[in-house]
Structure 1
Amino acid sequence: MKRACQNLTPKGMTNCEFHVSSIKNKKFKYMKNIFKLLAVIITTSIIYISCDLNEDPPFLSSENVFATVEGADVALNGVFEAFAGFNYYSADFHHATDFTSGLFVSGKRTDRSNIAALSPLSSQNYPTNLWRQMYVAISRCNDIIANIPTDSQDAELNNILGMAYFLRAHTYFNLVRLYGGVPLHTEPASSATLHKPRASVEEVYNLIIADAEKAKTLMLDAAAQKNGRPGKLAANMLLAKVYMQLAGNDNASANWQKAYDEAIQVFGQYSLVPNYGDLWSSIATANNNSESIFEIQFNEENNSRLTRLFTPNNAFAGRGWQRIRPNPETIDMHTDKYPDDPRIAFTFISTYDKFPSGVIKVYPDANRSNFNKGFPYLYKYFIKDQSATTDANNFNYIQYRYADLLLMLAEIENELNGPDNAYQYVNEVLARARNSGDSAVEPADWSGLAQDEFRAAIMREYQYELLGEGHDWFVGRRRGYNFFKTNYIDVHNTRIAIDNKNYDIEYPDDQKAMLLPIPSVEINSNQQISASDQNPGY
């Protein structure tokens, strides 16, 4: 599959969502002094994860930062800046979750003996940096939550407060699924509150649900948000995901009904873009489109590095790391299930133009004769402008999109009532996929499935629609270890046994793969956590 790379001219956003130094609106000029204060605070806010403090650090003052909507908005930009940072959604979230998802391999040789073999180290940079950055984001949320009055009558201030609750809930949801019970920090940090024990998983989920419920009541609708920020329905989608996670593999769980009650609020409020390729082909069609529910905004000052992770060094004039590549079974399964699915060409790339000349072929367009040829690339984040001298670009990263919501509703409805009323949701996704190609007849609408058949099919449909978009780790583990082993570990090991290549990685049958290790820096520096608190198997 050869994809023609387009020359794109990225357009930076004048109103920067994340990096506070790019705020250029005239109404913010008088905020420069506040910005300078905030910049210092942000720089020193890497707390909860390092050495002891001799005195309480400076924190956001309600008198000079939160007295106005503009000041509070600058603080909120600091939270979004943490989300868009290299150690969160710009890179290390993908390093940590893709390599351990059971669907990707690392192009970095040293990763292939540990994290890419489902055995990350507690001292490894990816899960450690991700842990740190998520707590940086939480710390900034806590400053906002502590300083904006809960009884404010200002809708804009309430919106900012609600956004902080949503972003904190979202990040704790990532933490609890990836690491299990984690320290709960819910107030501005000081030397007195720096050290916290691991909370129970139940306690973490209680906070997530409480925060998301507050977010629903405080946030404005998406149409009233600026710069691509999420509307209140993003909190409903978050809660639906939470209840699905809590339901696990218990088909009779009351949490399925709770998940439905949240997800159905989002149904019909967004729409699929007409062509699946529009999600990936150009900034004009990819960024802040009708399908986006929660999107990480990148721009010239705070740009995405996803292209670097997913692009080889010889595909453009700049530098690619070719760090993350799909396992061969991912494209095998997709083409076996839906040979004519137009999504395949927008998900994978196996033939590309070499820069400055030549053509490169990899699996399945080439034999798996060596590691470099043995795996396809993920087209979604592959370089689109081969003349670019840098991988940095303004393509946003969508964390929640409407197609995911439709697949969730299909799964939920099937668990509650069987497939009869579930087809409508998944078939909307399949129809868009079909209509994304010329005269494509696949993927065909589903019909005539038993409940267990629908369940098995929908769990794999997430992969066909959303591969590489940040959900693979969670979907694979949500129904427990036996599900993960059968559908990921065993499928992978069976596939690589066919080729018997010495560069392929055999996944171990080990339940420790259900969680990442608590970073050793946290165990060594947090006085309320010891080595005995480490996750099993690490």
Structure 2
Amino acid sequence: MKNLITKISLLLFGVLLLTGCGDKFLEEDLRDQIATDNFFNNDQEALLAANGLYRILHRGSLYRTRGLDNYYVNGADEVGPSRNVNREITNYLIAEGVADGNAQWASLYEIVRNSSLFISNIDGNENLSEEVKDQTLGECLFIRALAYFHLTNLWGDVPYFRELLPLDELGSLERFSKDVIRTDMKNDLARAKELLPSSYSGGDLGRASKWAAAALKAKFHLFDKEWTLAKSECDDIIDNSPHRLLDDFAAVFDQTDPANQYNDEQIFAIDFTTDGVFGESNTSRTDDYNPRLRDEPSNRNNRPGGAGTPTRWQLLQADLQAIDQDMSGFGWAIPLPELANQNNWDPDDLRYDVTVVTEYLGYQLKFPYFRKNWNLNNTSPRGNHNENYIVFRLADIYLMAAEAENELNGPDNAYPYVNKVRERAFEPDKPWSGMSQTEFREAMYDERKYELCTEGYRRMDLIRWGILLDVVSTVQHRSFNNPADNIKPHHVLLPIPQDEILLNPNLLNTDPTNNGYR
């Protein structure tokens, strides 16, 4: 069982080396082992330590499979199951010990522990070149801030430390104000932004740049309603970074070529690769979105040519095989009915056909799917996918800037930001104009949904806007789900995991109700 006081496994750097590699930029030469009692005598050792932090991000509890998606994508108004699975989260049956995020908590605190240890051993280390010292220190600060971003989003006040503590102290920590934690993380990200390079190339693609730090800092500010600071960070990225909006919305998510998975719009992505050396270098998240042939197509057992001829599913399978594709996923993460219905989108919104698919190769499908998340190519096989998880991209930054400007000054100077995103989304162009501040704010509710579907921010957006309960209670769900009957105000946060409370009862000192779950 993992918990906050688990012995710090990465002090045993043999474990670090095994868990810290296996991705494209992590596939390092491991012949130079690191002694357990002599940290970071050279650049290679510091780089391997940073790689170990990225490795944790690749876990199934975080970005590799549904992990964080359970609490950021599900339970809102975008994604629902095609059958009665994941019901505790979908139906808001969360309780202590039931879908309480214990695995996410453990992985995020492992990042906090290890990054704090590494920061103390990198900062001021004269054995390292200035270039590597700056980069790895910036990476550790960024990844630790990302961990605390998730921790404070999901649980609010949480145990907090910036330097590695003795195990007995770690095991007795109380919860700490999330406002103080987030203020410190913003300061750390400002430092990371100064330390990190502007871009990477070749085998280092996937590492955090200064613009990744700026994007995370902007997220903190936006979620905390610090509109001026949020807009300042967004403007810096828009005006000064090498990132640009792609002309084609579909190209943003095109992962079919493993050698060409990065593009200019992506600011930070978790880098997965097929057939990596280590077990978590690939992703299985894609399988949730890929259809399974046993479901498809509609009327699958019908024989269009009459008795004795192939069924519709056999015909579909043959057509898929002819283009080296297959429907071998789990097929359960599908659009909720209202999102899948094109009549609920603007008829000129080009994003619908990129986001949702209801027909393929001439076959009407039984279920709608998220086209932007599937990859049917046999080069990306079931359980061994290479698709990167896009964490931050430039279109989101434009929409954040638009929202912040509207909150500060009304919509007049916010239109250029949102209309830049809408330029490629509509044919003919449909820019916004003539709105009140309230109308602009409420229009942004849908604009972010259509632009950023399934990208990991919808549920938190609904929470920060204060409309999660209203949306979940009114959106159409499938007959086997009933979240509207169960969702309560306290569901905007998770309960501190039961396993953690059993080990450390002090976690209830500042809130005996455990975020309202008791």
TM-score normalised according to structure 1 size: 0.78
State the shift of 1:110 in Å: 4.9
1:149 matched residue in structure 2: 123
Tell whether 2:342 aligns with 1:326.
no
Q: Identify unmatched segments of 5+ residues in structure 1.
A: 1-15, 38-59, 248-254, 363-372, 435-439
Q: 1:157 to 1:258 in 2, by over 3 A?
A: same
1:512 matched residue in structure 2: 490
Q: 1:289 to 1:210 in 2, by over 3 A?
A: same
Q: How many residues align?
A: 456
Q: What SS does structure 2 have at the residue aligned with 1:267?
A: helix
Aligned-pair identity (%): 27
Tell whether 2:100 aligns with 1:116.
no
State the shift of 1:261 in Å: 1.7
2:400 matched residue in structure 1: 408
2:285 matched residue in structure 1: 306
- Kept in 2: contact 1:168–1:211 (CA 8 A): no
1:66 matched residue in structure 2: 40
Tell whether 2:144 aligns with 1:168.
yes
Tell whether 2:453 aligns with 1:452.
no
| CA deviation profile, 1:8-35 (whole Å, cap 9, x unmatched) | xxxxxxxx9985257899984542x23x
Tell whether 2:156 aligns with 1:183.
no
- Kept in 2: contact 1:406–1:425 (CA 8 A): yes
CA distance in 1, matches of 2:337, 2:504: 41
- Kept in 1: contact 2:71–2:459 (CA 8 A): no
| CA deviation profile, 1:148-179 (whole Å, cap 9, x unmatched) | 12476712211110111111111101110111
Tell whether 2:226 aligns with 1:237.
no
Q: 1:349 to 1:224 in 2, by over 3 A?
A: closer
Structure 1 residue aligned with 2:178, among 172, 196, 201?
201
CA distance in 1, matches of 2:382, 2:406: 46
Task: Read off the aligned partner of 2:491 and give its amino acid letter.
Answer: A
| CA deviation profile, 1:125-160 (whole Å, cap 9, x unmatched) | 572211111112222212211211247671221111
| CA deviation profile, 1:294-341 (whole Å, cap 9, x unmatched) | 111111310111111212322765742223222112234x64341232
2:250 matched residue in structure 1: 277
1:441 matched residue in structure 2: 428
State the shift of 1:210 in Å: 2.5
Q: Identify unmatched segments of 5+ residues in structure 2.
A: 1-16, 297-324
TM-score normalised according to structure 2 size: 0.81
| CA deviation profile, 1:393-448 (whole Å, cap 9, x unmatched) | 211111000000000011111111221111111111111223xxxxx326x11112
CA distance in 2, matches of 1:19, 1:461: 38
**Of 447-456 and 187-196, the range deviating more from structure 2:** 187-196
Q: 1:25 to 1:223 in 2, by over 3 A?
A: closer
1:130 matched residue in structure 2: 104
Q: What SS does structure 1 have at the residue aligned with 2:506?
A: coil
- Kept in 2: contact 1:309–1:323 (CA 8 A): yes
Structure 2 residue aligned with 1:346, among 344, 347, 354?
354
CA distance in 2, matches of 1:30, 1:509: 53
Structure 2 residue aligned with 1:380, among 365, 372, 385?
372
- Kept in 2: contact 1:295–1:399 (CA 8 A): yes
- Kept in 2: contact 1:278–1:286 (CA 8 A): no
2:499 matched residue in structure 1: 521
**Of 226-235 and 282-291, the range deviating more from structure 2:** 282-291
- Kept in 2: contact 1:100–1:117 (CA 8 A): yes
Q: 1:391 to 1:359 in 2, by over 3 A?
A: farther
1:221 matched residue in structure 2: 198
1:49 matched residue in structure 2: none
Task: Read off the aligned partner of 2:21 and give its amino acid letter.
Answer: V
Q: What SS does structure 1 have at the residue aligned with 2:206?
A: coil
Q: 1:307 to 1:126 in 2, by over 3 A?
A: farther
State the shift of 1:190 in Å: 3.7
CA distance in 2, matches of 1:126, 1:324: 20
| CA deviation profile, 1:478-521 (whole Å, cap 9, x unmatched) | 122xx2233x12431xx45xxxx632424145201211222111
Tell whether 2:447 aligns with 1:470.
no
CA distance in 2, matches of 1:198, 1:413: 34
- Aligned-pair RMSD on alpha carbons? 2.9
Q: What SS does structure 2 have at the residue aligned with 1:532?
A: coil
Structure 2 residue aligned with 1:397, among 375, 380, 389?
389
2:465 matched residue in structure 1: 479
- Kept in 2: contact 1:17–1:77 (CA 8 A): no
Q: 1:318 to 1:83 in 2, by over 3 A?
A: same
Q: What SS does structure 2 have at the residue aligned with 1:160?
A: helix
Structure 2 residue aligned with 1:491, among 465, 471, 474?
474
- Kept in 2: contact 1:99–1:106 (CA 8 A): no
Structure 2 residue aligned with 1:89, among 63, 69, 76?
63
Task: Read off the aligned partner of 2:418 and give its amino acid letter.
Answer: V
Tell whether 2:81 aligns with 1:106.
yes
Q: What SS does structure 2 have at the residue aligned with 1:399?
A: strand
CA distance in 2, matches of 1:17, 1:243: 36
| CA deviation profile, 1:49-81 (whole Å, cap 9, x unmatched) | xxxxxxxxxxx64x2x41211111111111001
Q: What SS does structure 2 have at the residue aligned with 1:349?
A: strand
- Kept in 2: contact 1:237–1:262 (CA 8 A): yes
- Kept in 2: contact 1:286–1:395 (CA 8 A): no
Q: 1:71 to 1:122 in 2, by over 3 A?
A: same
State the shift of 1:193 in Å: 3.1
Q: 1:27 to 1:460 in 2, by over 3 A?
A: closer
CA distance in 2, matches of 1:461, 1:193: 46
Q: 1:441 to 1:88 in 2, by over 3 A?
A: same
Tell whether 2:404 aligns with 1:426.
no
Q: What SS does structure 2 have at the residue aligned with 1:193?
A: helix
- Kept in 2: contact 1:271–1:290 (CA 8 A): yes
Q: 1:236 to 1:469 in 2, by over 3 A?
A: same
